[in-house]
Structure 1
Amino acid sequence: MEIINYEILKKYPLCDRCFGRLYAKLLHTTNTERGRALKLYKALELEAKIKKAKEKGINYEEELELLKALAKSGVDEIRLEDIEIEKENCPWCRGIFNKQKMEKLLNKAIELLKEYDFDTFLIGTHIPEEIKDLEKEIETEFMESIKQEFGREFGKMLAVRLDKAPDKEYPDIVVHINPYTEEIYLQINPLFIKGRYRKLVRGIPQTRWPCRKCRGKGCELCNYTGKKYPISVEEIIAKPFLEATKGVDAKFHGAGREDIDVRMLGDGRPFVLEIKEPKIRKIDLNKIAEEINKDGRVEVLNLEFGVRKDKVIFKNTPHRKTYRALVECSDKITDEELKLLEKELENRTIYQKTPKRVLHRRADLERIRKVYKVKTSKVDDNHFEMIIYCDGGLYIKELISGDDGRTNPSVSSILNKNCICKELDVLKIHDNNLLEKG
């Protein structure tokens, strides 16, 4: 079985580096050294065969043809009597590994990178379609793509020049290069900050709500702000981060959300803030937390740097919650009725259709959730407080009102009274150290 295909050189005069790349997974050395060694060995073998053929007076055209191909591909040591051999350019690399060309690309990349603060990077190599087609044609089972080699070699040079580390998983910046066209552009990966927030007042949404009429463009209805509400938890938290990082935008990822009129108390709700295209990454999280907490409406706790997968964990991980609700009843309530309510709701499965108040933006589905524990305390004849420990995704306001029978059972159906939620607070997100899972 012939492992080395020298016949390919008759069609494509591959340089030492590119010929060696065809067998990159064999013999631990550089592609250039491997390719040169293979060519020299074959040239030596061919010259010996031709010499013997001449002595015996037999045909050696096939050996001579391959020897010419080796000479065209750059084997200078070959000497052919009365035959002029002109070296040809390699059709695979086309000289992209030339020292001067690499240096030129390196300087160009460094110039683009100089305005960004980063520790890690990755090289994204782009090659023309005709090069990809050539690779498919000459591919061997031991081959390394030219894309891999260029990215590795250029990455080594950039790491030395900038004293930065390559990172395949979570690079701060990706340097995209087409070494054939010499095009370079940067992909500035987001900066992720994770922590918990407490919303101490009512009337603030978690995230920015665009005006429904103008969809964020600004109109008379929204007083040309483009927003339905003047401020949000997202904006209060994001503003100092954007100023510190000089990022172009921020996106807020919360582990669930509370209604605009609901406070988020206790030890807060986990969140990840994604800062897009930051120019500065080394920021003082404690100092920014102090600035946010001076606002008085929102507080942040346990801030730390995160990674991209954190936002996926936050969105997809279910967790239980504890709520405090102030309930108002149409009729007087007794202590006995409250005890009955606690008993009826303990470990109770709740069947809940999408509340009417959110049907305009959510699918009409039936959700099955569970209430695990309820504690009640009477405030006056028509008001009582509930502490509810339940599954995430349970609509508490509708658990109380019944939502015209769309939630079953409900506080109203159990007590046989019209009950509504006057105040609601989230006291705890039982996330089991969700932040640490990232």
Structure 2
Amino acid sequence: MTEEPKEEDDWTAYATAGFGQTDYSLWDDVEVAETEASQEEDGFDEGDDLDDEMWEEPEQLGTHTEEVPRAPNPAGHKHMVRIGCCDTCLGRLGGKQRYDQSMVESGVEIRAAVVTRDPHLDDAEERIGLCPFCEDLFNEVDLLADLITEALDGREIGRLQVGARFPKDQMEEEDVMRKRYGAGGSDPLKSSLVKFVSDAVKARMGDVRIVSENPEVLAIIDVTTLTVDLDVRSVYLYGRYRKLERGVPQTRWPCRACKGRGCDRCEGTGLQYATSVQQLVADPLRELLGAEDDAFHGMGREDIDVRCLGRGRPFVVELKAPNRRTVDAEAAMTAINTAAAGSIEVTSLRPSSRKEVVRVKDTAAEKSYAIRFRLSPLSEKEHAKLTAPMDLTKEDVQERGGRKRRGRRKRRGDRGAPATKPLPEPEPEVPVVDEAALQAMKKAELVELAKAQDLPTSGTKSDLVDRLVNAAPAEAAPMPMAGSEEIEEVVRGLRGAMLAQRTPERVAHRRADLVRRRKVIETTEPLIETMDDGQTEVEFTLRCESGTYVKETVHGDGGRTQPSVAALIRARCDVLWLDVADIHAD
């Protein structure tokens, strides 16, 4: 008798882990317990009519398998009421606000509907004590509006913007809860609070317009400390100034000794010069507008010893944190010109903006200059220095204009152009001094001069003077100076000339050592006069590109500007004065 083959054994029958096959549910007892607890909490028994709420999803369970639905589901409203949500946040997040309803009215309506179904939630807000969404900030709207109104008292204002500063963790927590329980598209806490406060301020200050951009005053609420900070935007005024006196700088010049702190040298003012164009223009305006501070933005600047004539130099004066914003231009110009007492004259004053500050500072306007200089003999060695070759390779020369970089605003001057390699410094020359100058020096100074020239340093002062005089090289014979006709021809020849200008020695301490290219647009016929002492003086006007060093164009700056008038007429040119004749802009 053969044994029948056994069917293949099921390995799960021998498993001891309990995961093979079972009819036991791990969640049966939890579901029953939750159902019973839910019925007890809601006050229902088996005989209650549940037809009205059969479609509702159950509240969040301890197993996290089901969640509380978001508003505007009635169960979501019920959960928001139960956790202590205020009426404003109920209206903000409930998703039931009608067109003609406010947030508070919508929240009251939602709460009434929830309490009608669940009377035991009537005092939920009082029991919790703090709204989990706004932390009762909406209860402080009137306080914040009063703070803003008090801070603005006494200020002239037409456009106001309200902002708020929240702690980062509070914003993140509110954002998570709003997206978890609130209706889709609900307003964030920050924007809602700002709107409530803005409306309250508008009700208190009816003549103020609430804006979202370009405000005159920005009121920033700090919700942590319940304080308000004001950011009062500046008032900008455009105009032109004519500087009629020399020795007046354009902007305030801090004292070199105390760096603006005030000392005996500056008599406690902190200023190197007693006044400036900025002070003469801004001080009367600050008094008119009640501003705290000022800033001056000019279309370029002239040297302290240069007058600015013609139509004047365009400028924008910025008056910071003013109490008043309306300016009578005629009255303001009268106040400025009267206080200046002939030092400067302001014209064309009008309201401006921050954008115009950028335009004024970035405009590379052509300028006309009037210059007068005196001629004196020039040696061949000095002339050779004025005409010495300059390194004008492409890598070493800055040129104005050219192709703009895409995506970048062209700035005024040469900031965006490539830097240059500094030219080699000339070898120091042996000083040529006369006997009278040596006699006026102290013996210690004569000893130093003798050491510099490898001369003996022994003997008396007279011995040192004789030794230095005898060792000094003889002065070279001067070159023949150009006549009037040649001078006129040289000045006319400057029209259209491209100058190569290395940073002048007088400004090398504060500007990059670069070689710049500037063009002379046109020149006028020169006025050549022979003075009573027999010296010749020349005066002419030239129009050139912005940033041209005009004094250096005349005297050559030791060969750092080429070509120069001094090199072309073979004479030393000592500049007597320079005036800005006109600025060809606006």
TM range (shorter): 0.7 to 0.9
2:316 partner SS: strand
Q: Distance in 2 between matches of 1:402 and 1:368?
A: 14
Residue 337 of structure 1 is matched in structure 2 by: 486
Contact 1:349–1:368 (Cα < 8 Å) also in 2: yes
Q: How far apart are the structure 2 equivalents of 1:386 and 1:423?
A: 11
Contact 1:170/1:307 (CA < 8 Å) preserved in 2?
no
3-state SS of the aligned residue for 2:579?
strand
Q: Summarize the Cα distance change of 1:82–1:142 in structure 2 as closer, same or farther, 3 Å threshold.
A: closer
Task: Name whichever of 105-114 and 6-15 sits farther off.
Answer: 6-15
Does 2:133 align with 1:92?
yes
Matched, 1:124 2:170: no
**Which SS does the other structure have where 1:402 is aligned?**
helix
What's the CA shift for 1:248? 1.9
Please name the residue that 2:573 is paired with.
419
2-structure distance, mates of 1:86, 1:428: 78
Query: Could you say which residue in structure 1 is the equivalent of 2:329?
Result: 285
Q: Does 1:388 align with 2:388?
A: no
Inter-CA distance 169–408: structure 2 relative to 1 (3 Å threshold)? farther
Give CA deviations for 1:285-316 in whole Å, capped at 9, x if unaligned.
21221122231111000111222222222222
Aligned to 1:115: 154
Higher strand share: 1
Counterpart of 1:79 in structure 2 is: 117
Structure 2 residue runs of 5 or longer lacking an equivalent are 1-68, 378-480, 531-535
Aligned counterpart, 2:103: 32
1:227 aligns with 2:271: yes
- Residue 155 of structure 1 deviates from its aligned partner by 1.9
Q: Match of 1:172, as an amino acid?
A: E
Change (3 A) 1:86 1:264: same
> How far did residue 427 of structure 1 move?
1.5
* Contact 2:482-2:571 at 8 Å conserved across structures: no
Equivalence for 2:309: 265
Give the deviation of 1:31 after TM superposition: 7.8
Of 334, 340, 345, which aligns to 1:299? 345
Is 1:165 aligned to residue 319 of structure 2?
Answer: no
In structure 2, the partner of 1:152 is 195
SS in 2 for 1:181: coil
Q: Is the 8 A contact 1:18 1:31 kept in 2?
A: no
Matched, 1:379 2:450: no
Aligned residue identity for 1:95? D
Q: In the alignment, what sits opposite 1:213?
A: 257
The amino acid of 2:560's aligned partner reads R
Contact 1:369–1:394, Cα closer than 8 Å, also in 2: yes
Please identify, of 288-297 and 145-154, the stretch whose mean Cα deviation from structure 2 is larger: 145-154
Q: Secondary structure at the match of 1:102?
A: helix
Q: Distance in 2 between matches of 1:139 and 1:300?
A: 58
Partner of 1:362: 511
Say if 1:139 and 1:396 are closer, same or farther in 2 by CA, change over 3 A. Answer: farther
In the TM superposition, what whole-angstrom CA distance separates every residue of 1:115-157 from its partner, at most 9, and x where no partner exists? 2222222112111222222244357684543222222332233
Distance 1:151 1:420, change over 3 A: farther
Q: Is the 1:8–1:138 contact (alpha carbons within 8 Å) kept by the matching residues of 2?
A: no
Q: Which moved more, 1:174-183 or 1:301-310?
A: 174-183
Give the deviation of 1:192 after TM superposition.
1.5
What CA distance in whole angstroms lies between the structure 2 residues aligned with 1:242 and 1:402? 43
Q: Which amino acid aligns with 2:155?
A: Y
Residue identity in the other structure for 1:94: E
Name the amino acid aligned to 2:114.
D
What secondary structure, in the 3-state scheme, does the structure 1 residue paired with 2:356 have? helix
Which residue in the other structure is 2:556 paired with?
402
Confirm or deny: 8 A CA contact 1:253 1:271 kept in the other structure: yes
Choose which of 106, 111, 116 in structure 1 pairs with 2:145: 106
Match for residue 362 of structure 2 among 297, 316, 322: 316
| C-alpha separation in 2, matches of 1:288 and 1:91 | 55
Provide closer, same or farther for how the CA distance between residues 91 and 392 of structure 1 changes in structure 2, counting only shifts above 3 A. same
Moved more, 395-404 or 104-113: 104-113
CA deviation profile, 1:246-278 (whole Å, cap 9, x unmatched)? 222221111111101111111111111111222
Question: Does the 8 Å CA contact 1:23/1:142 hold for their aligned counterparts?
Answer: no
Given that 2:89 and 2:107 are in contact with CA atoms closer than 8 Å, whether structure 1 keeps it comes out as no
Q: Distance in 2 between matches of 1:413 and 1:157?
A: 75
1:62 corresponds in structure 2 to none
Q: Distance in 1 between matches of 2:119 and 2:238?
A: 73
Q: TM-score, normalised by structure 1?
A: 0.80
Kindly state the Cα deviation for residue 219 of structure 1 after the two structures are TM-superposed. 1.8
Q: Hey, what does 1:353 align to over in structure 2?
A: 502
The two structures, once aligned, show a CA RMSD in angstroms of 3.1
- Report how far residue 222 of structure 1 moved: 2.2
Q: How many angstroms does 1:81 deviate by?
A: 8.4
Distance 2:251 2:276 in 1: 5
